[in-house]
Amino acid sequence: MLQEDAVFSREKLQEQVRSLNCAQKEKQIAPENAYVSFNNSEFTIVPETEGNELNTKEAYQMISGAIDNEAAEVDLESDPKAYKKADVTRDSAELQDIVNAYNNLTKANITYTFGDETVTLDGNTIKDWLQFDEKGQLLQDDGAFRQHVVDYVAQLAADHDTVGTERQFQTTSGRTVYVYGSAYGWKIDQDKEVAQLMQEIQSGTQTTREPVYSMRANAHGINDLGDTYIEVDLTEQYMWYYQDGNVIFESDIVSGLASDPKRKTPPGIFTLYYKKSPDVLRGTKKPDGTYSYEQPVTYWMPFNGGIGFHDADWQPYFGGDRYLTGGSHGCINLPPENAGQLL
């Protein structure tokens, strides 16, 4: 019983609570939240740890109440609020959603096909793109993860794109030449591929497919020209049309005027845009609305901007040295009867 002249100081009580042995910082272990980690080949929830960090405010309330009730002792262990608890527990629905999402993510298996070659992206590689702290806690960083996907697709393109590369080519006449192709070959559409790959990883997709291409060639491998193509020999002034490896058409030609850089036929590898019959070929448009030239043709097959194959009944002959003095504006001129076969 308190004496009548005794004075109860709540400030003193607060000081006493803070001075308790169990309230000393060096004696306390803070609770730790539950978290997601990767163990035994799967993502799991690591349970929270309770610790023994005193909730001094709650302890003060308990002791103060005991004094008011004239209790002889206080059992802090009897009130779960007396000690601080983890904010995130093993029962967290949010943590379970993360576990489900990331376990699904590492199930993804995407096998890319490049002709006879395959490249597989599996869960082991995907897992290596994730970040963990020193105790193994998953650190969610969507931006960093996406950058790994971007880098992976960029490496696929670096390894397999052929647009803009130089190719060794064996000509029909037996010469070995090197041809640069900036408008022909395989080219992965990296933005679209990243978007599709992100979606497939997140959904745990298992599939075998080609990457998303913005440009396609006839074949994979060192010779991506395949065995169906047109060979134009600007030196020999001759062309061959190969289909499945066999010559099905050949002809003398007249290429661009060799002495004029603006009219000289540029070498390279190109893809035929379309075929049209008839058409009118036009030169540069002048200020008065007319063209530097207009030439009706029966057969028109463009492959490099305004350059293409077409009939040229005005040429006195084809092949030989005609291109040196009577060359075209860059197109491949063909005898009318032969141009019709090509169309």
Among residues 103, 157, 152, which one has the least CA distance to residue 127? Answer: 103
**Residue 40: what pLDDT?**
80
What's the structural domain count of the chain?
A: 3
Residue 180 in domain: no
Residues 241 and 267 in one domain: yes
Residue 191 in domain: yes
> Up-side HSE of residue 206: CA atoms within 13 Å toward CB?
5
* Final residue of a structural domain among 61, 94, 127: 94
Q: For the CA atoms of the chain, what is the radius of gyration?
A: 39
| Residue 239: domain span | 229-342
Q: What does the pLDDT profile of the chain (343 residues) look like in tens digits?
A: 445 555 555 666 556 655 655 555 666 677 888 898 988 889 999 898 887 666 656 555 656 555 555 455 555 555 566 567 778 888 999 999 999 989 988 999 999 999 999 999 999 999 999 999 888 889 899 999 999 999 999 999 999 999 999 999 999 999 999 998 888 999 999 999 999 999 999 999 999 999 999 999 999 988 899 999 999 999 999 999 999 999 999 999 999 999 999 999 999 999 999 999 999 999 999 999 999 999 999 999 999 999 999 999 999 999 999 999 999 999 999 999 999 999 8
**Can you name the residues that pair with 165 across neighbouring β-strands?**
181
- Using left for φ > 0, alpha for ψ between -120 and 50, and beta otherwise, residue 245 falls in left
Q: Are 238 and 251 in contact (CB under 8 A)?
A: yes
Kindly report the CATH number assigned to the domain that includes residue 191.
3.10.20.800
What SS3 state is found at 328?
strand
Segment 148-199, tens digit of pLDDT: 999 999 999 999 999 999 999 999 999 999 998 888 999 999 999 999 999 9
pTM of the model: 0.77
For the chain, give the mean pLDDT: 87
- Using left for φ > 0, alpha for ψ between -120 and 50, and beta otherwise, residue 27 falls in alpha
In degrees and rounded to multiples of 5, residue 287 shows phi and psi of -55, -30
